Amino acid sequence: MLRILTTVIITLLLAVSCTDQVELSGVDKSNFDTSVRPQDDFYQYVNGTWLEETEMPADKSAYGSFHILYDENQLRLRAIIEDAANQENKASGSDVQKVGDFYASFMDSAKIEELGLQPLEEELTLIENIETWDALAELFAHHRIIGVQRPFTYWVGQDDKNSEEYILFFNQSGLGLPDRDYYFTKGEKFEDIRTKYVEYLTKILELAKDENAVEIANTVMEMEKALADNHWTRVENRDSEKTYNKFAVNKLSRLSPDFNWQLFFDKAGIAKAENVIVRQPSYLVAFSNVLSKYSIDDWKNYSKAKLISGFAAELSQDFVDANFDFYGKTLRGTEVNRPRWKRAVSAVNGSLGEILGKVYVEKYFKPEAKERMVKLVDNLILSMEDRINKVDWMSEGTKVEALAKLKKFNAKIGYPNKWKDYSKLVVKPDELVLNTMRSAEIEYRRDMNKLGKPIDREEWGMTPQTVNAYYNPSMNEIVFPAAILQPPFFNLKADDAVNYGGIGAVIGHEITHGFDDQGRKYDGNGNMREWWTEEDADKFDERAQVVVDQYNEFVPIDTLHINGELTLGENIADIGGLTVSYNAYQLSLNGEEPAVLNGFTGNQRVFLGWAQVWRMIARDEYLRNQVLTDPHSYGKYRVIGVMNNLPEFYAAFDVKEGDGHYLPEDERVKIW
């Protein structure tokens, strides 16, 4: 698992406004709410009619520009997958055979119904035969390999303080609810969620013919609550310094003396590891205490519940329905499950992503899009250099270090130079659950095999068909998959201004992640070290606190405020990213005045492009989950929060004291 700072940024360039120059403004005025002044609520002004008239699809908990593009991508992937599935005489072991048969295994509902719980029988027997604590340690290792949740997890990544070496990272886990807060937050909504979670566990255990389903479900909930009580918060887990705790493998027993780590490492196939990064040492101490508090039978039942729940969506319809009723309806408010073909596409994409990616790139990624992106990235890098040179709060010594880091940024655009090897994966047309387990094991072995080997700087953390982008501090790289670089998101024919507000701000956002409250702790080689002067670091932290305080005031639903500390990195990247992109747009004009298109100046269209990115409707359940678990602010506040702080927006739309977006100059965020 790559450690990445990531954001999802999707813009919607809908309407075409033709001028004499046959240019696209990229601005859809039919979505506007002109009863609202842009100076008072820019988000509502740009998106109000769309927000009012758009109906939530029954199979979604949130819907916006990202979801529209995602749906279009699903259709493209379906065509690729079904083409493979429909081919005759597929060579055994070929990419086409694997894609086609994996899809067939998901779509064969009759076979899935016939099998019922049978695909898990061997695994259930393995759990039932556990008699000792050592055997339980081996079971936890086995479950990590096949993708079943257990009280802790681990992955291979670059050592934060030695980016030229791979190392194991250990992390807290084990919860069936989205976050520790779901176990303790008071109020009717959260009490109802906890009650329904126990009902869900009871249901799937009853479907598995367990006579003690009710008792087991309540005990599992109790065990999870004990684990959750010792989980670090999401704010604490963002801190790259606090979560860097290096231990020799043979010292892990000091944290968890009641767990056989040596046996676990042997079974997990990672015995060659000498050191690990324990992200939450106090949790591993607590895990040992919780482990001994409950009996082996309790942990067997816990593991059984995790196994069934983990594969419920791929079992017969009664399990699918139970899983969706809780995780879809209760937690997200989604009314109906996605059609089977959509779930099948997601399954194939999740297990054979880069096989699909090769075909996807050939069919849908234009070379000219990559060429344009290279130029845009270069422009944004120059713009960031300009901003660093001009900030008045950073000393010259720190600027030299910051510019050195910027020059070492590596941009990956479109797709990887080399593709993953799936040759060892066995896929059969009537073994959906086993296909998924075998895929999990292949990816596990791929990850663990990195230990002791040189860093693979060609590796991608996302497939080309992923609508997303990310910054990876250990690699010091910004990555833009092909799916985010084509219409309707990135329009090659569209006016530069709106593209700077869209894809340009994406680039700026990811670049700025390298200098947000966590990314700034890493140097140009990807090593975490203190390269700031103490005074400069203090000045940065003072400015970052302004961001925290501002976003803490936003209330997306009920009395739940945005967590300004949890969302700090993304909010800094939003504000900085659009600032840097706007500056890049100005530099690109070379002093010329851009044409007025669709009634808006070029400067105004940059901000319109950003506001269109974040139009979104959401169910209440989704909003509650996002506020508690997501490091990104809700879309509305990604517009409002940014506009409140940018003097360029004030100038473009003549924002004055008394307007909704107005903040006194000394209260605005001033970082980049």
Q: Which helix (H) or strand (E) holds 480?
A: strand 477-481
Q: What is the pLDDT of residues 141-151, one digit of tens each?
A: 999 999 999 99
SS3 153: strand
Give 419-462 pLDDT, tens digit per residue: 999 999 999 999 999 999 999 999 999 999 999 999 999 999 99
**Which residues have a Cβ under 8 Å from the Cβ of 318 and sit 6 or more positions away?**
207
CB within 8 Å of 385: residues ≥ 6 apart: 403, 406
Band of pLDDT at residue 489, cut at 50, 70 and 90: confident
What CA–CA distance (Å, rounded) separates 145 from 153? Answer: 10
Number of H helices, E strands in the chain: 29, 10
- The band of 18, judged by pLDDT with boundaries at 50, 70 and 90, is very low
Q: Which of 510, 536, 570, 630 is catalytic?
A: 510
Q: How far apart are CA 570 and CA 471, in angstroms?
A: 11
HEC string for 312-371? HHHCCHHHHHHHHHHHHHHHHCCCCCCCHHHHHHHHHHHHCHHHHHHHHHHHHCCHHHHH
pLDDT at 480 over 70: yes
The residues, any chain, with a CB within 8 Å of residue 9's CB and separated by 6 or more, are 469, 484, 502, 505, 506, 509, 613
pTM of structure: 0.94
CA 609 – CA 26 distance, rounded (Å): 8
At 602, the pLDDT band (50, 70, 90 cuts) reads very high
Contact by Cβ (8 Å): 157, 166? yes
Peptide bond into 464 cis (omega under 30): no
**Measured between alpha carbons, how far is 477 from 463 in angstroms, rounded to an integer?**
16
Single out the catalytic residue among 123, 574, 621, 630.
574
Domains and CATH numbers, the chain: 7-76+378-408+493-667 (3.40.390.10), 118-337 (1.10.1380.10)
| pLDDT tens digits, one per residue of 178-208 | 999 999 999 999 999 999 999 999 999 999 9
- First CA to last CA across the chain, in angstroms? 31
Q: Does the active-site annotation cover 510? A: yes
